A = this chain, B = another copy of it.
């Protein structure tokens, strides 16, 4: 477990006023990393941290030469157009830069004047995917999601015997990952309706979101050198929100025997700011499973993981339909879920399991948690579950019905951590929007 240090002190305030508002996602205790440029410009992408309603441009700060030692080396790497080199520097470098930035941005900072020249309003920026994602792996770590979905796909056999032992995961597609704001066409794909033996190529009619956390790997491991559970945390750079958009009709037809493929790889949306593992240290909680659940195998067990392997976050899903936008209505919440209730495995366990066979992780690799669903109604992380496989439509506040997503629907994820005695920190927004299917796809037929 990372120690709590002076960067977590709840009394710390920033000279950026908006960072001090109680509900701010980005107080000085957070300092998440992203990659930015002025929206619509052709500027070089560069690393930044969010503070209040501003982004601190790290390439501009690096040029001021205010830092020395490891922090000075780290800011050079963190200022680059992708954060991979910074991520790869490891936990000490990340900590050194965080501590330095905390001091620079604090109220009373002797450098406030020059640093104000390095701020860009969040309203004026656009984001790139913050790292070159070499490989993207998606897990399946919520037992409630696995059970709910299993019931729909395999009514006789919802939770498979391996689930309680293996942190189930599969490889995803890195090329179609984009940051919040992604708008994508409803995917085409093969669908085979009940009672049919010949499929048709058509736009997905069961398009869904999946609420997930994304985990960016910091320093990696060599091929053939597993990461023991005792040091798994050292390889976690930080977290973001992740929407694993899913076409359920494509998925049902294609997923046997090798898993989801075109049902998922048309789009994945992540929130642009990576909340560091260090920033989340105050929100660590014991890893506890319900009574009667087995203990993990020894390679997935450590004292630190038992005492504080889990993380207390709250995550929300909201929908904004075209009609809601037209009438100026705010997005409507569909789901609220607390992470410890959803996760059957801790994030360090996912890292260790991934490498137990010698598989190598690299800086910038992305691990998805899998859909986060809690045990109670209103805590499920996908429409598939909320509507019981599309059988029970949801009625929205304006009277619209939803089983799956309609064209024009935007889905917005938010998340935050709060705990008595510490400053609340947030993840910002992960937003994506569904556009109509393309017209005239070659070879398409009804």
A interface with B by C-beta (< 8 Å)? 134-135, 137, 140, 150, 153-154, 160-162, 165-166, 168-176, 178, 184-185, 187-190, 192, 197-201, 223-224, 226, 228-230, 247, 250, 253-262, 265-267, 294, 297-301, 353-354, 356-362, 365, 438, 441-445
Contact = CB atoms under 8 A, between A and B. Distances in A.
Contact of A443 (B228, B267, B354, B441): B228
A256 B297 contact: no
Nearest to A146: B257
A267 B172 CA distance: 17
Give chain A's interface secondary structure class: loop
Given A165-B190, A187-B358, A297-B445, 4 more contacts: A162-B199, A189-B356, A226-B441, A229-B442
A79 to B, nearest CB: 23
Number of copies: 2
A356 B202 CA distance: 10
B442 A266 contact: no
B443 A361 contact: no
Given A162-B192, A162-B254, A359 B175 contact: yes
Contacts of A140: 258
A166 B150 contact: no
A190 B167 CA distance: 10
Contacts of A358: 176, 184-185, 187-188, 266-267, 438
B258 A175 contact: no
B299 A134 contact: no
Nearest to A357: B187
B185 A298 contact: no
Contact of A357 (B172, B266, B356): B266
Contacts of A187: 357-358
Contacts of A172: 171
Given A199-B166, A445-B298, A175 B356 contact: no
A58 to B, nearest CB: 25
B262 A259 contact: no
Nearest to A442: B228
A361 B173 CA distance: 10
A346 to B, nearest CB: 15
Contact of A254 (B137, B168, B223, B301): B168
Contacts of A135: 173-175
A181 B300 CA distance: 32
Given A150-B257, A175-B135, A199 B443 contact: no
A186 to B, nearest CB: 9
A442 B230 contact: yes
A208 to B, nearest CB: 14
A406 to B, nearest CB: 18
Contacts of A223: 175-176, 178, 184, 266-267
Max chain B Cβ within 10 angstroms of own Cβ: one of A160, A165, A444? A165
Contacts of A201: 297-299, 356
Contacts of A174: 134-135
